Amino acid sequence: MPSFTVYKGSKDGSIQKSSTSKPELTADQVLLRITASGLCGTDAHYRTQDMALGHEGAGVVEAVGPSVRYLKAGDRVGWGYEHDCCGACQWCLSGRETYCPERAIYGLANLDQGSFATHAVWREAFLFRIPDELSDEEAAPLMCGGATVFNALHMYDIQPTARVGVIGVGGLGHLAIQFAAKMGCDVVVFSGTNSKKEEAMKLGAKEFFATKGKTELDIGKKVDALLVTTSMKPDWNLYFPLMAPDSVIFPISVAEGNLELPYMPLLLNGIRIQGSFVAPRLNHRQMLDFAARHGIKPILMKFPMTTEGITEAMQTLKDGRMRYRGVLVPETKA
């Protein structure tokens, strides 16, 4: 019976070390030893919940259940936000299982385990092989952050001829710049200040605009797609005039309340708002292949996988000091 350490959120937001026990492996279950976990902005939303945290996992297979078909002990795999789905509904059958009504996702299911932990048990069907070109630490942030931004561009057919705006150079944003640039798009970045300009340009941005205090921007040619990856809702009035006719906005940020948008500019220019949520498994796999082929990697700050390490990483993210994705690693490797 596997038993392992997990790190949970709590009512007052402090990180709690705890343990989880699982029954013997059945069906296509896989026991993993975790070697790295990204810290996603969404984890900060759950830190006041009594649940195991972390959903950008990477690890090594330790044991496999009786119907595991492809993985064996020693294989390097990752996993992300979704852990299971019904496999039979219209969305599962069309490769959009992230929208399955019976999906099991972070924050709503399997609250006893996450990627801030020593081990985890997941279905083989929801694990992804890590390409040789990526280390576990580099692969972990791709399991949610990378998958999410790749999915918006790929699932919704953004063309290589598109001019793509990215708002926010954080964990998601710095990966979005790389994916869009390698897809051939013309990438325009919007960030609070100029402090991340040099890095954003190195990652593939063509142009960079600091937005703090601005009520209007002149960016020349307008954008065909806009990925909103800030941790707060943006000032929509600043961005609507930058949208080309028939363009699309992906509000990727997780936020509470309503999405309030300028009404007439939306109508008059045929602008679409496209919700997008992590990545179905096929897109997720294609994302990993694409990242490996094009040398797309997150820029990391490492922290130890301990109560103190997680607390410090969360604080670094909150303070806006993360450059650009925090990754927790077991102490022996830190």
Ligand X SMILES: NC(=O)c1ccc[n+]([C@@H]2O[C@H](COP(=O)([O-])OP(=O)(O)OC[C@H]3O[C@@H](n4cnc5c(N)ncnc54)[C@H](OP(=O)(O)O)[C@@H]3O)[C@@H](O)[C@H]2O)c1
Site residues for ligand X per CB under 6 A: 40-42, 45, 144-145, 148, 168-173, 191-192, 196, 229-232, 252-254, 276-278, 317, 320, 322
Q: Is 85 in the site for Zn ion (CB under 5 A)?
A: yes
User: In degrees to the nearest 10, what's the CA dihedral of 274, 249, 300, 179?
Assistant: 90
Q: In 40-179, at which residue ranges do the beta strands (DSSP E only) sit?
A: 56-64, 76-79, 82-84, 104-105, 119-123, 128-129, 163-167
- 323 touches, from Zn ion, ligand X, none (C-beta below 5 to 8 Å by class): none
- Residue 7: phi and psi, rounded to 5, are -115, 125
- What is the nearest approach in angstroms of Zn ion to the Cβ of residue 116? 13
Short-list 106, 97, 102, 100, CA closest to 279: 97
For Zn ion, which stretch binds (CB under 5 A), given 96-104, 175-183, 254-262, 314-322?
A: 96-104
Q: Is 53 in the site for Zn ion (CB under 5 A)?
A: no
DSSP one-letter code for 81: S
d(CA 122, CA 330): 19
- 170 touches, from Zn ion, ligand X, none (C-beta below 5 to 8 Å by class): ligand X
- 278 touches, from ligand X, Zn ion, none (C-beta below 5 to 8 Å by class): ligand X
> CA torsion sign, 312 to 330 to 26 to 1?
negative
d(CA 175, CA 299): 9
- 191 touches, from Zn ion, ligand X, none (C-beta below 5 to 8 Å by class): ligand X
Q: Is 92 in the site for Zn ion (CB under 5 A)?
A: yes
Judged by CB, which is closer to Zn ion: 162, or 278?
278
- What is the nearest approach in angstroms of ligand X to the Cβ of residue 116? 15
Instruction: Give me the residues paired with residue 60 across strands.
Output: 33, 76
- 89 touches, from ligand X, Zn ion, none (C-beta below 5 to 8 Å by class): Zn ion
d(CA 20, CA 27): 20
Footprint of Zn ion (CB under 5 A): 40, 42, 85-86, 89, 92, 100, 144
